[in-house]
Chains A and B, each alone.
Chain A
């Protein structure tokens, strides 16, 4: 943590665990007899219970979206730039709910949890869950928390897909849907990258058919490689050029001139070790991730992405899926995002328009690629803030 808690931080937060005993029938047909969800909340639920905002996390996210768990934390939650008093998702106005999704590895029941039936790790026996299943579990959480409807459901990337699913499955529970850097479904290229990630995990000799925890190990190399590949798809070419093209200023002012080819030790090794900064960065990112993330969860999350297709019940027509989604929508995309590029968001916008829905859409100029949705890009944050201020105003004017 910084020396003192910033005034616009939610401060120290403690996650809560909600236990659910009622079996959850999943999209696959399998049944999860019981499960736990770990949840953080920021701000206060108002007396009319009209100011709750749900945050849906992306592939590697969790419930810890804002603030600090302890004074020793070096970094705040993953979306601290947008959640806090006075921030875009203003905790002075909203009661913000953030959970770790089912199948996650940050405290909610998932492959790394103990299966109460066998008293062993679930491992590969944990059922594949889908975006729809997550929304079902979030709906139960909502009931448990006695929240009648969400003022807004907000998410980026895979989180944005949960937002869309909310508006399709439970339109009466959502007043505003904020869907950032998402896609209506994955493309073949998206699935291909996910398969490379999965294959690198499952082909690691420490994977043990997914039962690595029982053996006291984990597929570190596979997980590292999966993250390295993933990370490349989150960044843009221009972001990488800027990030790894700093030392060139010795020669020229324009940092893009060396294409981001900063060397790690100042000279080429003429061997097969790491020469360039970008390589050592990917190794570092992969390593750090592999130490903190469960491999089976990574497999499961990427499958949830691949399977997401809200049109399956609607003859392949997304506009029909939105037929009853009478909330208001805000969509945003980022110019250099090549994982879920602006075209993918525009597809969603077109189908929302076709369904006669009320929608706003912004295409944010940003160099940072897909990662931009996690970063404090001024226009993006201002738009989110402006939109949610209106949500708050509506709340006030609706009050009897």
Chain B
């Protein structure tokens, strides 16, 4: 299982309703269905991924996140997931607001652009970082809104979003005391468990 997904699943309650935004091949939802009896629906736009979801019996709706989530009722899910998709959205802040309208809580994971490797790459080479984790060049990347752990923290404060838990890990999803101490510098993947009080 993908590193971030391993951590995410610990925050999902058994028998809960889960909406997975950008659910990929449905792997996580399927796992949650099997192990936690979760009722899940995934949103996805990639044809191959959608077919994988159907093949494994995971509910999937072909829907572009950039076109909004107005077809989902407020508080109609327990948890709304957004795993490794935030940075590819045209209006990530809007989507986070929408997540926390639809779900009682949300889980967001994203590649931390504040990681020392990215900083070093840019500082030394003077070019946009390209790595195993961020494999695209600037002109063909689907990732149009990179952010850092500090950026995301700031957004949460600005939008009155409560951070229930925050973890940063490396690509092998190993956490450590030094990552806890310097998350924005050392964390490669940021994982947030968030919620928002209803107004």
Q: Closest CB of chain B to A151's CB: distance in Å?
A: 14
A359 at the interface (CB under 8 A from B): yes
> A359 and B41: CB pair below 8 A?
yes
A361 to B39, CA, bound (A): 16
Residues in A neighbouring B51, C-beta threshold 8 A: 379, 382-383, 386
Residues in A neighbouring B47, C-beta threshold 8 A: 379
Residues in A neighbouring B72, C-beta threshold 8 A: 353
Our pick among A356, A358, A386 for the contact of B76 (Cβ within 8 Å) is A356
Interface-forming stretch among A3-11, A234-242, A387-395?
Answer: A387-395
> A362 and B55: CB pair below 8 A?
no
Residues in B neighbouring A383, C-beta threshold 8 A: 50-51, 54
| Beta-carbon nearest neighbor of B57 in chain A | A390
Residues of chain A in range 325-380 having any CB-CB distance to chain B below 8 Å:
328, 330, 346, 349-350, 353-354, 356, 358-363, 379
| Beta-carbon nearest neighbor of A330 in chain B | B54
Residues in B neighbouring A386, C-beta threshold 8 A: 51, 54-55
B37 at the interface (CB under 8 A from A): no
Q: Closest CB of chain B to A253's CB: distance in Å?
A: 28
Q: Closest CB of chain A to B76's CB: distance in Å?
A: 7
Residues in B neighbouring A379, C-beta threshold 8 A: 47, 51
> A360 and B54: CB pair below 8 A?
yes
Residues in B neighbouring A346, C-beta threshold 8 A: 71
A390 to B52, CA, bound (A): 11
| Beta-carbon nearest neighbor of B53 in chain A | A360
| Beta-carbon nearest neighbor of A328 in chain B | B59
> A361 and B55: CB pair below 8 A?
no
Residues in B neighbouring A393, C-beta threshold 8 A: 57
B89 at the interface (CB under 8 A from A): no
**With A354-B73, A356-B76, A358-B39 known to touch, is A349 a contact of B55 (CB < 8 Å)?**
no
Our pick among A353, A387, A390 for the contact of B71 (Cβ within 8 Å) is A353
> A394 and B61: CB pair below 8 A?
no
> B76 and A360: CB pair below 8 A?
no
**How many B residues have CB within 8 A of the partner chain?**
20
**How many A residues have CB within 8 A of the partner chain?**
23
Q: Closest CB of chain A to B64's CB: distance in Å?
A: 10
Our pick among B54, B56, B61 for the contact of A349 (Cβ within 8 Å) is B61
A200 to B146, CA, bound (A): 61
> B73 and A361: CB pair below 8 A?
no
Residues in A neighbouring B59, C-beta threshold 8 A: 328, 358-360
Residues in A neighbouring B153, C-beta threshold 8 A: none
Residues in B neighbouring A354, C-beta threshold 8 A: 73, 76
> B71 and A350: CB pair below 8 A?
yes
Residues of chain B in range 77-115 having any CB-CB distance to chain A below 8 Å:
none
Q: Closest CB of chain B to A367's CB: distance in Å?
A: 16
A360 to B41, CA, bound (A): 8
B60 at the interface (CB under 8 A from A): yes
Residues in A neighbouring B66, C-beta threshold 8 A: none
**With A382-B51, A383-B51 known to touch, is A349 a contact of B71 (CB < 8 Å)?**
yes
Q: Closest CB of chain B to A49's CB: distance in Å?
A: 22
Residues in B neighbouring A350, C-beta threshold 8 A: 71
B62 at the interface (CB under 8 A from A): yes
Q: Closest CB of chain B to A94's CB: distance in Å?
A: 17
> A360 and B61: CB pair below 8 A?
yes
Our pick among B55, B62, B76 for the contact of A363 (Cβ within 8 Å) is B62
**With A346-B71, A360-B60 known to touch, is A353 a contact of B76 (CB < 8 Å)?**
yes
> B61 and A358: CB pair below 8 A?
no
Residues in B neighbouring A359, C-beta threshold 8 A: 41, 59, 61
Could you say which of B50, B62, B73 has the most chain A C-beta atoms within 10 Å of its C-beta? B62
Residues in B neighbouring A360, C-beta threshold 8 A: 53-54, 59-61
> A361 and B62: CB pair below 8 A?
yes
Q: Closest CB of chain B to A23's CB: distance in Å?
A: 41
Residues in B neighbouring A387, C-beta threshold 8 A: 54
| Beta-carbon nearest neighbor of A363 in chain B | B62
A203 to B56, CA, bound (A): 54
| Beta-carbon nearest neighbor of A356 in chain B | B76
Q: Closest CB of chain B to A362's CB: distance in Å?
A: 5
| Beta-carbon nearest neighbor of A331 in chain B | B61
Top 9 A-B residue pairs of the complex, sorted by shortest distance between their CB atoms = A350-B71, A390-B57, A386-B54, A386-B55, A361-B61, A363-B62, A362-B62, A360-B59, A387-B54
A interface, CB within 8 angstroms of B:
328, 330, 346, 349-350, 353-354, 356, 358-363, 379, 382-383, 386-387, 389-390, 393-394
Q: List 17 A-B contacts (CB under 8 A).
A: A330-B54, A349-B61, A349-B71, A350-B71, A353-B71, A354-B76, A359-B41, A359-B61, A360-B54, A361-B60, A363-B62, A379-B47, A386-B55, A387-B54, A389-B55, A390-B54, A390-B56
B interface, CB within 8 angstroms of A:
17, 39, 41, 47, 50-51, 53-57, 59-63, 71-73, 76
Given contacts A353-B76, A390-B57, 15 further A-B contacts (CB under 8 A): A330-B54, A349-B61, A354-B76, A359-B41, A359-B61, A360-B54, A360-B60, A361-B60, A362-B50, A363-B62, A382-B51, A383-B50, A383-B51, A389-B55, A390-B54
